[in-house]
Amino acid sequence: MEDRPLDYPLNANIDPETSVTGWIHPNATVSPKAQLEAGIRIDAYSSIGPGVRLGAGVHIGTHAVVTGRTTVGPGTRIFPFATVGVPPQDLKYRGEKTELVIGARNTIREYANISVGTEQGGGQTRLGDENMIMAYTHIAHDCVLGSGCVLTNMVQLAGHVVVEDLALLSGGVGVHQFVRIGRLAMVAANSAVLQDVPPFALAIGSPARVKSLNSTGLSRHGFQQADIIQLKKAYRVLFDVSRRFQDRLIAIAEDSHPAVQHLVDFVRSSERGICGSEE
């Protein structure tokens, strides 16, 4: 059975403020309480729940499930068999009205699984804009992703994980609950991340340890050689085990470079400790 354009969908609400011609396959299941904006496409055998809002131009692939109190930002594409907005895998959850908020132009690939938040974690799981969530990735309750992140196939984020902008997690990476991954950090494949990965770092291993600065990633995102040299100096001080940890931080904080200051702020606010340091 072919798709067909619909001025008024058969089984869902289109935002009345827009002039809509969306596409909903007749074999899709869409709640009449779902809110759909202009230009959406919902393929066959997908399921859209009553608490869902789909932004303009969202494309839901065949057999995908979008449920719960879930907002999907404009231009996002959800591929076949992904499950988005499902209840958290948390024994404390009792059906509270928590939510998932996904920003604009995200790509969520096959069999990815993303949970809504929990009351204990603030009630919301959040993704920013233009993230690539590859196949079989799990994003648990109360996680917060920035924008421009890449979560490669089979990345597993436990609850309350924070991933800052432009971070890259390679295939099979597992991240412990409450861990933070810093801006433009890269974690190598199959690593087990038990403590915070500082911004701009390349981490590898089980447990993950900081190997070096993520110089390639920095260059690709417009950092000049002078910036990279400045960060390398800061990293040498940060992991100089011959000095007290607090003395290292004080020394680094004297550098006014914005990236170095972000590194200092991140390390100072760490609750689980920084991977690769002795404290």
5-160: CATH, from 2.160.10.10, 3.40.50.2300, 3.10.440.10, 3.40.50.720? 2.160.10.10
Which residues have a Cβ under 8 Å from the Cβ of 3 and sit 6 or more positions away?
23, 24, 25, 41, 43
At 61-73, the pLDDT tens digits run 999 999 999 999 9
pLDDT of 119 higher than 90: yes
Percent of the chain residues topping a pLDDT of 90: 89
Do the beta carbons of residue 169 and residue 145 sit within 8 Å? no
Q: In what order do the strands lie in the sheet with 77-78?
A: 5-6, 22-24, 41-42, 59-60, 77-78, 107-108, 132-133, 150-151, 168-169, 186-187, 201-205, 208-213
pLDDT for the residue numbered 276: 81
CA distances from 207 to 151, 174, 175, 197 (A): 19, 10, 10, 11
According to DSSP, residue 8 is labeled S
* 163 strand-pairing partners: 145, 181
Residue of 59, 138, 141, 176 marked active site: 141
Of 9-18, 155-164, 186-195, 223-232, least confident by mean pLDDT is: 9-18
Contact 151, 134 (CB under 8 A): yes
The amino acid that residue 55 corresponds to is G
**Annotation says 165 is catalytic:** no
Q: Of these residues, 142, 146, 160, 262, which one is catalytic?
A: 142
Q: Is 159 assigned a catalytic role?
A: yes
Q: State residue 2's pLDDT score.
A: 44
pLDDT-derived band at 21 (thresholds 50, 70, 90) equals low
The reply to whether 142 belongs to the active site is yes
In angstroms, the CA 80 to CA 43 distance is 9
Where does the pLDDT of residue 19 fall: very low under 50, low under 70, confident under 90, or very high at 90 and above?
very low
Over 80: is that where the pLDDT of 179 sits? yes
Catalytic choice (159, 182, 217, 276): 159
> Which pLDDT score, from 0 to 100, does residue 22 have?
83
| Residues 18-44, mean pLDDT to the nearest whole number | 87
Specify the pTM: 0.91
Confidence of residue 278 (pLDDT cuts 50, 70, 90): very low
Tens-digit pLDDT profile for residues 216-257: 999 999 999 999 999 999 999 999 989 999 999 999 999 989
Convert the pLDDT of each residue in 151-173 to its tens digit: 999 999 999 999 999 999 999 99
SS (H, E, C) 93-142: CCCCCCEEEECCCCEECCCCEEECCCHHHCCEEEECCCCEECCCCEECCC
Token reading at 16: 């009345």
Q: Evaluate if residue 109 carries a pLDDT over 80.
A: yes
